[in-house]
């Protein structure tokens, strides 16, 4: 019940948030990514898979913040990189301090599973957004199908999650 009470305000706010402007990342995607993180941790999925969603949450939040700041006419050099690093530290830092990251037996290719998954999630999400932008530009500034901006990143994350699930079994 506490989980529902916590998530419900986020869901309600996301429905009433205006998406009339062309954001690089929409609020619906950010809420969906956050839900994916919570669900994977709740279900006890491997840390690599959960990390994919954590990485996507990091980059989604960073892009959303940069767009919000730009709307307020606050811009600065390398804002995307700075916000990504900031959110990475905000999200991954506490996990390191609480010993969720760094256990010597929780590694894949010599990197902590949660950290590896987070980096993979960041790369996957950036690739998906770039793919969406490329397809939209190629189609005269229009999406090929409704909700393309949501479907491509989420599909990419699901594919990356499935790949990590089968690799870490």
Asked if residue 7 has pLDDT above 60, the reply is: no
Asked whether residue 155 is domain-assigned, the answer is yes
* pLDDT tens-place string over residues 70-123: 999 999 999 999 999 999 998 888 888 877 788 888 899 999 998 999 999 999
Please check whether residue 47 lies inside any domain of the structure: yes
What confidence score (pLDDT) does residue 34 get?
A: 62
Q: Is residue 23 part of a domain?
A: no
Task: Give domain status of residue 14, yes or no.
Answer: no
In a domain, 20, yes or no: no
- Going by C-alpha positions, the residue among 30, 22, 18, 96 that lies closest to residue 7 is 30
Give domain status of residue 22, yes or no. Answer: no
Q: Does a structural domain hold residue 36?
A: yes
Number of domains in the chain: 1
Q: Which domain holds residue 65?
A: 32-96+111-167
> How far is it, in rounded angstroms, from Cα 114 to Cα 8?
27
For residue 134, pLDDT over 90 is answered with yes
Q: Which two tokens stand for residue 159?
A: 């594919």
Over the chain, what is the mean pLDDT? 82
What span, in angstroms and rounded, lies between the C-alpha atoms of 93 and 10? 23
Give domain status of residue 104, yes or no. no
**Distance in angstroms (rounded) separating the CA atoms of residues 78 and 134:** 22
The CB density around residue 82, as the number of other CB atoms within 10 Å, is 14
**What pTM did the predictor assign?**
0.76
């Amino acid at each position: 019940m506490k989980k529902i009470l916590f998530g419900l305000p986020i869901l309600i706010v996301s429905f009433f948030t205006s998406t009339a402007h062309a954001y690089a990342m929409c609020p619906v995607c950010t809420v969906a990514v956050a839900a994916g993180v919570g669900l994977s941790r709740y279900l006890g999925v491997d840390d690599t898979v959960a990390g994919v969603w954590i990485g996507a949450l990091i980059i989604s939040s960073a892009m959303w913040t940069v767009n919000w700041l730009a709307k307020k006419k606050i811009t600065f050099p390398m804002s995307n990189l700075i916000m990504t690093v900031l959110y990475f530290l905000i999200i991954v830092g506490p996990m390191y301090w609480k010993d969720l990251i760094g256990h010597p037996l929780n590694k894949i290719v010599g990197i902590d599973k949660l950290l590896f998954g987070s980096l993979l999630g960041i790369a996957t999400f950036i690739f998906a957004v770039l793919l969406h932008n490329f397809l939209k530009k190629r189609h005269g500034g229009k999406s090929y199908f409704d909700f393309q901006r949501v479907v491509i990143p989420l599909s990419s994350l699901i594919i990356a999650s499935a790949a990590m699930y089968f690799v870490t079994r």
